[in-house]
Amino acid sequence: MRRRILLLGGLLLTGLCLSELCMGYPVRAAEPPALIPREVLFGNPEISSVSLSPKGERLAYLAPDQGVLNLWVRDLSDDSVPRLLTRQRDRPQRGAAWTADGRYLISTRDSEGDENTVLVRIDPDTGDMRDLTPASGVQAQVVASDREAPNELVVGLNDRDPRYHDLYVIQVDSGERRLLYRSTDDGRQVSVEWLDGAWHPVLRSEVLADGGSAYELKLPGDADWRPFLRFGFEDTISGSSPGGFTRDGRWLYGTLSTGEDLPRLVRWSREELSSCGTVCQPDVVHRSSSGALGVSLTDIDTGEPTLLQEVDLRSRRVVLDASLKADLAALKTLAAGNDFGIVGRDLRDRLWLVVIGSDQKGEEYWLWDRSRRQQRKLFTVRPQLEAYTLAPMESLDLRARDGRRLPAYLTRTPLAASVPQPLVLLVHGGPQARDYWGLNSTHQLLANRGYHVLSVNYRGSTGFGKAHLLAGEGEWYGRMQDDLVDAVNWAVAEGFADPDRLVIMGASYGGYAALAGLTRDPELFAAAVAEVGPSNLRTLLASIPPYWESGRVIFERMIGVGSVDLDAISPIQHVDQIKRPLLLGHGANDPRVKLQESEVIAAAMAERGLPIDFVVFPDEGHGLANPRNALAMTALVEAFLQQHIGGRAEPFGEVLNQSSMDWRLRSLPTP
């Protein structure tokens, strides 16, 4: 039995500036730090999405060509010249991963953000490209690959039914495919979670009617599937699941939170699974001391975990294989107090691709040669940042009004004087997601412009234990919003945030929270910025993508369908409470939060004569993939904030004209 290997990389205004920088109030005696150009923070990186070939001989990566990110490849010999493989001129190329033999690169694309992903094969020698999956209307998901079958990929396609993905084996060289597994063969919607190297489904799961989950097992040689594990809703949403077998087939590893708040890494032996029936007790490998636990490295031959990572406000490594300690010690010295991660390896496990980064420094890619114990710097992602002073990000433990812990991050503006300054509350999306410590371009931009920036992992966020996650059930517009308000009130009480110049800003769920901030707490926030945010939960639920169908019950339960009045928690129903200005942005092709979610609240505000700026990007989906569009939206945010709470802003220049932006409603003067 061989372990499945996932392929990764390649599933958030007014005032026209005529001078180099526009100053708001108050006047500060000290010389302000240089204005960091938007392009430096949000434009094309010099390099990104670096991938090491299986033999450790070549690198594939994204870098600009004629102003657009494209795919390049270069040999690792010192005198090699990078070769351009793709020639995108409108929308950026996506990153790529190598096939197990290094013969091809596999990348993806969609049509202007519609999330109907096409799998693309690219020849790294010639740049020849071929679609391996249907070119439109079908979403492809890479499910498995194996180094002993380098010409094959197992891919999920929803071509038969847009709600469900059937599994196909695709020949990379020819594009031929054969059906492997139909997700509804037995009348249930069941998803394969793990396959062996011969592509036999071994582990599969089903989401139950109450939001729980059930797993079935079919070991090689078994005639039928048999029940294996069953989890309730609480453990399902918090990530309890078997992951997959090791490459040698001896162990099945998984993560459990049953009966405990924090996750633990467990494993079942193959011998026990052959005879234990439905009562299979695992061995505990490691109990996490943090709410998030993941496997960072596995043994290159057996597939057993060798290095774990726990993440709370900050991360820490847990070494399971003592032979790694010398390498990790050398990398810690190289990182010089900054964070580092191992993001790629060759098949001999001799070369490691390492990323080093921090909250005040752009990421760097290094190559670590384990046998020679030598490091080699490859790239700096955004070298232009080195010319500017970045602000540190503080890790905080705040408390909600009911005593719940609120892990948060704060970046203070270096322009701050002795008096309170404006503050932007930046709300993450999901909401089953989280904020992390590290370099955050939005934090840095806003701090440089004169605003404190606060990000809060409100209840319902992942990564801080099961109880913190489940405390968000049914609390949209309720306690989840209270947490955000409590964090802002803390900043005001501490004396560094001006209570008259508070802004709430976010995308996706963060956009919803921004709309909720204007309607639920209309006196608290001076303004709001919302991107791709739902305003009406009834229409949101009626229009979610069909391929979310299997997880609909979990999504609905976390919102509170059946126990909460959806109208009462929909900002569109409370537009009459809005008193403050709103900047609203949306991608026209968004399949998750339809454009109508922004259109209806923009129209309602306009009808009431409320200050509203509403922009639509016709070539984007749930987020802005094109840097030209991201720069335009950032420029609008700068001008909007300067108008309503003071601060600095870079002049528009040509940034709006270079985007696809359609400015539908405006309260700002024309640039």
**CATH code at position 515:** 3.40.50.1820
Report the DSSP beta bridge partners of residue 269.
Answer: 251
Residues 245-258 pLDDT 10s: 999 889 999 999 99
For residue 21, what pLDDT is reported? 31
Hey, what amino acid is at 447? Answer: A
Work out the number of other CB atoms within 10 angstroms of the CB of residue 670: 7
Domain co-membership, 454 together with 472: yes
Residues 500-540 pLDDT 10s: 999 999 999 999 999 999 999 999 999 999 999 999 999 99
Domain for residue 10, yes or no?
Answer: no
For residue 342, what pLDDT is reported? 97
508 catalytic? Reply is yes
Residue tagged active-site, from 49, 622, 644, 659: 622
Domain co-membership, 548 together with 453: yes
Domain co-membership, 116 together with 215: no
Please state, in angstroms and rounded to a whole number, the distance separating the CA atoms of residues 346 and 360. Answer: 30
**Positions of E strands within 481-580:** 497-507, 527-531
Q: Look at residues 121, 150, 183 and tell me which one is the last residue of a structural domain.
A: 183
For residue 25, what pLDDT is reported? 36
For residue 1, what pLDDT is reported? 39
What's the whole-number mean pLDDT along residues 420-437? 97
Domain for residue 85, yes or no?
Answer: yes
The percentage of the chain sitting over the pLDDT mark of 70, rounded to a whole number, equals 95
Q: 0.85 cut: is pTM over it?
A: yes
Residue tagged active-site, from 359, 590, 613, 619: 590
Please state, in angstroms and rounded to a whole number, the distance separating the CA atoms of residues 431 and 508. Answer: 8
Domain co-membership, 176 together with 194: no
Question: Mean pLDDT lowest for which of 209-223, 304-318, 484-498?
Answer: 209-223
Token pair 């691709």: residue: 353
For residue 574, what pLDDT is reported? 98
Domain co-membership, 139 together with 280: no
Confidence of residue 30 (pLDDT cuts 50, 70, 90): low
Nearest Cα to Cα of residue 423 among 346, 353, 330, 488: 488
Domain co-membership, 179 together with 194: no
Give the CA distances from residue 28 to residues 25, 33, 158, 495, 649, in Å, rounded to whole numbers and listed in that order.
8, 12, 58, 18, 16
Domain co-membership, 132 together with 82: yes
Domain co-membership, 119 together with 194: no
Nearest Cα to Cα of residue 442 among 536, 510, 519, 539: 510
Give the CA distances from residue 592 to residues 46, 539, 542, 586, in Å, rounded to whole numbers and listed in that order.
31, 11, 11, 11
Supply the range of the domain harboring residue 211.
190-290
Two tokens, residue 317: 């490594």
Domain co-membership, 516 together with 636: yes
235 catalytic? Reply is no
**Positions of E strands within 381-480:** 393-399, 405-411, 421-427, 452-456
Residues 38-95 pLDDT 10s: 999 999 999 999 999 999 999 999 999 999 999 999 999 877 899 999 999 989 999 9
Spatial strand order in the sheet of 264-269: 241-245, 251-256, 264-269, 283-287
Domain co-membership, 401 together with 271: no
Among positive and negative, which fits the CA dihedral 530, 532, 537, 539? positive
Domain co-membership, 442 together with 563: yes
Domain for residue 367, yes or no?
Answer: no
Question: Based on C-alpha coordinates, what's the Rg of the chain?
Answer: 25
Domain co-membership, 164 together with 249: no
Residue tagged active-site, from 238, 241, 508, 570: 508
Q: Residue 82 sits in a domain of what CATH number?
A: 2.120.10.30
327 catalytic? Reply is no
Domain for residue 527, yes or no?
Answer: yes
Say if residues 365 and 379 touch (Cβ distance below 8 Å).
yes
7 pLDDT above the threshold of 70: no
Please state, in angstroms and rounded to a whole number, the distance separating the CA atoms of residues 328 and 164. Answer: 42
Domain for residue 240, yes or no?
Answer: yes
Token pair 């054969």: residue: 178
What's the whole-number mean pLDDT along residues 550-554? 91
Domain for residue 629, yes or no?
Answer: yes
Burial of 628 (0-12, 13-18, 19+ CB in 10 A): buried
Number of domains the chain is built from? 3
Domain for residue 14, yes or no?
Answer: no
Q: Look at residues 273, 290, 307 and tell me which one is the last residue of a structural domain.
A: 290
* Maximal CA-CA distance, the chain: 79
Please state, in angstroms and rounded to a whole number, the distance separating the CA atoms of residues 55 and 122. Answer: 18
Q: Look at residues 243, 262, 290 and tell me which one is the last residue of a structural domain.
A: 290
Domain for residue 194, yes or no?
Answer: yes
